[in-house]
Every structure is written in C-alpha cells, then in structure tokens.
A and B are shown apart, each in its own frame.
Chain A
C-alpha cells in the first residue's frame, strides 16, 4: 500500500519519456487549433442561419445546433472516422480513408460548432435593433453591418463564454487517442504497455493535464472577470 503510494509519487519514469510525451502534447495542441478554427467558422455560420429571416435557413441552423450540441463527442469521433469515409466512398465510387488526425479535427470541430453557435447567437440577439437601423440609415450594406457593427460587439460579449468553450475543447482533445492520433494519452498508453507501470504514467498524465488546464482556466476566469467589468462600464 505505502509501496504503491511511493511508486505513484515516483514520477521519474514519466520524466524519462518526456520527449515522446511532449510530442504527444503538441498533437493535442494541433488538434485543438484546427478544430477551434472549424468550430468558430461553422458556429458563426450556424448562428447567422438561426437568426436569419428566412425560415428554411432558421430550420437548418437549429438542426445543426441541436444535432451537434446533443451528440457525445466520442460517438461523433468514431462515426466520422469509420462511417463518413464509407459514405463519401459510396457517393464518389472510390475508396476513401481519413487520416486519424483529419477525423479528429472534423469531429471535434463540428461538435463544438454547435456550442459556439449558441454563444454567437446569444451575442447577436443582445445587439439593440437601433444599432442595425442606424447602420442601414447610413446606407451600409448588410455585410458591412455584420462586420463593422454586429461582430465586434458579439465578440466582446461572448469572449468569457468562448474561453470556457475553448478550454472544454482542449479537454476533449484527449479522446483523439482512441482513434490512434498520437497525442499525450496515446503515447502514455503505448509506454504503459511497454513498461507495465500504469501507476506513475497515468498519474503523470493526469497531473500534466490538470496543471495545464488549471493554469488556462484560472487565467480565463481572472480575465473574464475584469473583461465583464470593462464592457459593463
């Protein structure tokens, strides 16, 4: 028992493999960055559809949001990796396969686009109608109003929520190891199979993620607090 405790606190084996584990962490960051780009752009698109005046557009936007917000990210990951290539293959009559990294980025990007869409929508709907009317009275086109009046305010308003979503997305990147993207968790399980010592390795992984995410979320919390005070003033 105390022997086990000593073994788990002895993280030297985790340190021994730091090069390969750090490489894994870089993969986490890469998946995060690519998925975040997809999630942001798709999320904005879905939000614009949801607040559109055209009914079919609203329906499509709502379907997108409800579908991806209610989907577990693991099943989406598996679906995108194993089903989507087959469906595309059937459509173009050619064998298609996705690299695990591509599947990971698509799946996480789409799932989180649902959450981002809701954040964007809340921001868009909070903008006073008068702002838009004023823009139109100046002869601004709808697109110009979107870029110059709506989006700057939306971004300011949704920033705290968006930071939380980014942190959730980063946490979600750990599951990409399950389709063999060589991220930190994947490398940890590989090393575990070799060394047969799950104790220090998984503890090290948990601590590493905890420290990174704790640092990120404390910063985000402090920043959001001062940000809210600033935009309310």
Chain B
C-alpha cells in the first residue's frame, strides 16, 4: 500500500488537475458536437443546395478514425485554414467534429420519426415552421435521442484520452508524466485506468437514469 500512497495519493493534485482538463475538453467537445450535429442535420434535411456538402461532412467525420482526425486537425488545419492555434482547441474541436457526425444522424432519425400529422396539425393551428420545429418536433427528438446522446458523450470521454498525444495536459497525459518521473507504472496507470472506467461507468449510469425518467414522464416508454 505504501507505493499506492506515494505514487497515487500524494500525486493527487497533479492527477486531479489533469482530470479537470479532461472534463473541460469533454464538455467543450460535447457542446460543439450538439451544435454541430444539429446544424449538419438541419442542413442535410432542409437546405437543398447544401445537402451534398452536409452529407459529405457527416460521412467524413463518421468514417475517419478519431486519432487520424485529431492529428489532421492539430497539424494540418493551422496551415490550411489558420485555425486552431493551440492544441487544446484542436483537441476538443476534433472530438466535437467526430461526434457531430454521429449526432447529426441520430437527430435525423429522431426528426424523421416524428409523425407527419403532427406537423400538419401545428400548421393548421397557425404555428410558423420555426415554432413547429422548436415546440413540437425538437422536444420529441431530444427525448427519443437522449440515450444515443448519452452514449455519444461516453464515446467522447473515451476518445479524449487521445488528446494527450498532442500534449494537452489531460488526465492521461499527467499520469504518463508521473510514470516518466517515477518509472513505476503499475500503480499510476492502474489508478488512471480505474478512474477513467469509473467515470465512464458513472456517466452512462446517470445518463441512463435521467433519460429513462424523462421518457417515462413525457409518455415515451423507457427502452
């Protein structure tokens, strides 16, 4: 136990600082993915001239491995489009882009699942298309895609370990730094792995509880 205290507990400040960065990266990526996914999905469904572009982007984000995308955004984008200028931004941006592709498809399935009659009813009740979308369609989409959204968040957390490769000081990166100082990987890496697993487990558990409760409350059966 002495080793655990020396290598993990006494280094908790370093590890927790890394964990904070991990949470920051994941939160930003998740936000970017939600917004990006919605924009891509709406463009694909309702903006005819831009449809092929949206489809291509969705497919590209979904079908490129996250590590490759991360390196691409981090090393090619700055030269290509002059952005992002630091690795932290590159990290959450790459994670967000990948997930936005998946969420766009989730949202699309949700929107297409809303019966046509509801839109017609809203129209005959005098609601504008924007109102219909915000008040009738979107709440149902949010409910039906809640489990997939939670799942996508766990994917973001898992992939976020890779931002350590582009020197973002996240939990993974901090624990590897500790390993390089002490040359004793057993305790440090095991504790890090356990922390990640517990975190992802917690997110999927809490996410599932919230999603189920919302769906029960608003009349959709929990699946």
Contacts and interface: CB of A to CB of B under 8 A. Distances in A.
To the question of whether A and B form a pair in one complex, the answer is yes
Interface of A: 1, 4-5, 7-8, 66-67, 70-76, 78-79, 82-83, 86-87, 171-172, 174-175, 177-178, 185, 189, 192, 198-199, 202-203, 205-206, 209-210, 213-214, 217
A70 B197 contact: yes
Given A71-B196, A71-B197, A185 B67 contact: yes
Contact of A82 (B65, B189, B197): B189
B158 A83 contact: no
Given A71-B196, A75-B196, A83-B189, A185 B201 contact: no
B172 interface: yes
A79 B185 CA distance: 8
Contact of B68 (A1, A66, A209, A214): A209
A199 B80 contact: yes
Given A82-B185, A185-B67, A185-B68, A72 B80 contact: no
In the complex, the 7 A-B pairs of residues with the closest C-beta atoms, listed nearest first: A72-B158, A171-B65, A198-B75, A174-B65, A74-B161, A70-B200, A213-B63
B193 A214 contact: no
25 contacts: A7-B79, A70-B154, A70-B197, A71-B158, A71-B196, A72-B200, A74-B164, A75-B192, A75-B193, A78-B172, A79-B190, A83-B185, A83-B186, A83-B190, A177-B67, A185-B71, A189-B71, A202-B71, A202-B72, A205-B72, A209-B68, A210-B64, A214-B59, A214-B63, A217-B63
B63 A210 contact: yes
Contacts of A213: 63-65
Contact of A73 (B158, B179, B189): B158
B157 A172 contact: no
Contacts of A205: 68, 71-72
A206 B73 CA distance: 10
Contacts of B9: none
Nearest to A7: B79
Q: Which of B63, B68, B161, B196 has the most CB of A within 10 A?
A: B68
Nearest to A68: B197
Contact of A75 (B63, B172, B201): B172
A178 B173 CA distance: 13
Interface in B129-182: 154, 157-162, 164-165, 172, 176, 179
Interface string B187-208: 0011011001100110010000
Contacts of B161: 72, 74-75
A224 B222 CA distance: 26
A217 B102 CA distance: 13
Contact of A8 (B80, B160, B172): B80
A186 B75 CA distance: 15
Contact of B162 (A5, A175, A203, A209): A175
Contacts of B221: none
A57 to B, nearest CB: 21
B186 A178 contact: no
A172 to B, nearest CB: 7
A66 B71 contact: no
A213 B159 CA distance: 18
B98 to A, nearest CB: 10
